[in-house]
Amino acid sequence: MLYQDEPSNDDGFQRAYRQHIDAVYRVCYGFMKNKADAEDAAQETFLKLIQKNGSKSFDSISHERAWLIVVASNICKNNLKSWTHQKREDVENTDDLPDPSERGSETNPVLEAVLDLPDKYKTVIYLYYYEEYSCGEIAAAIGKKESSVRSILRRGRNLLEKKLGGAADEK
């Protein structure tokens, strides 16, 4: 289903889901900052993959993965911009909500710092540091110039340095 050598649609989707759900969920969580919204965005991303079925197959699994990550980040950006999400944030910004420090997955200061980065840095930081893509691959994936990707990375690192102290390693 999902890349050219895939045997059948259902099996292909199951395989793609198992293989990429973690990456997609991480990207979604990085944007949405809560589990429920991240899960919704991840589901929407894989629904896009099903809809895409038949129109185009991917060259490789890494191509498929890159496509899923970019689609996930776009979906999250759209959701964050949507009227319903903004309204809901207004409601959620009350004193009744638990302290952010109580959220288990965000106790990691590095993760906190990454999640606090502006949206445009998150995908690039994730692809570069976690997925270990090169700047050229990231540029191809997100449709920007390689120089722009380098610039985004540099500014993202500087922001992380300011929050965490010390310089991040460069590959």
Binding site for another protein (CB under 8 A): 14, 17, 21-22, 25-26, 29-30, 35, 39, 42-43, 46-47, 50-51, 105, 108, 110-111, 114, 125-126, 129-130, 160-161, 164-169, 171
Kindly state the smallest distance separating residue 134's Cβ from another protein, in Å. 14
**CB closer to another protein, 98 vs 104:** 104
Residue 32: other Cβ atoms inside 10 A: 21
> How large is the angle between the packed helices 61-81 and 135-142, nearest 10 degrees?
60
**CB closer to another protein, 8 vs 86:** 8
> How large is the angle between the packed helices 83-92 and 61-81, nearest 10 degrees?
70
How far CA 26 is from CA of 4, 17, 45, 56, 116, in Å, comes to 26, 14, 12, 25, 14
**CB closer to another protein, 89 vs 161:** 161
- Backbone angles phi and psi of 84, in degrees to 5: -65, -40
Kindly state the smallest distance separating residue 4's Cβ from another protein, in Å. 22
**CB closer to another protein, 71 vs 160:** 160
